Amino acid sequence: MLADISKLTKTSASVLATAADFIQNLKGFGNLLYALFTSTSPLFKQLKDLGKALDAYNPKALKQMTNKVKGSILWIINLQSRHFFGEKSQFLQNFSS
């Protein structure tokens, strides 16, 4: 049992390999936000717009999306989520327009 617990704690974060899985994961997070905060949530609205934009991409372009690009998208979502949930960050200034 202790060996099983140590296996669980030694996991590392990774980006989903396929574009379809990546988009599905983003939509799943959006569904969670919708369930918790309804459709009026600013974070949900932004994630919904991102999902629509990614759905509009050419499938060949999505397949060529590198892990670095997907990781950058996830990092920005992470920063925006932390800001939304109350953790103010100096890094968000870089992404504001």
Domain that holds residue 58: 17-95
Asked, for residue 63, whether it belongs to a domain, the answer is yes
The arithmetic mean of pLDDT across residues 91-95, rounded, is: 52
Asked, for residue 77, whether it belongs to a domain, the answer is yes
- For residue 26, give both structure tokens: 């983003």
Asked, for residue 54, whether it belongs to a domain, the answer is yes
Asked, for residue 38, whether it belongs to a domain, the answer is yes
**pLDDT given at position 16:** 73
Asked, for residue 59, whether it belongs to a domain, the answer is yes
pLDDT score of 24 more than 80: yes
Task: Give dist(CA 10, CA 1) in Å, integer.
Answer: 15
Number of domains in the chain: 1
Asked, for residue 79, whether it belongs to a domain, the answer is yes
The model's pLDDT over 26-74, given as tens digits with 9 standing for 90+, comes to: 999 999 999 999 989 888 999 999 989 998 989 898 889 888 888 889 8
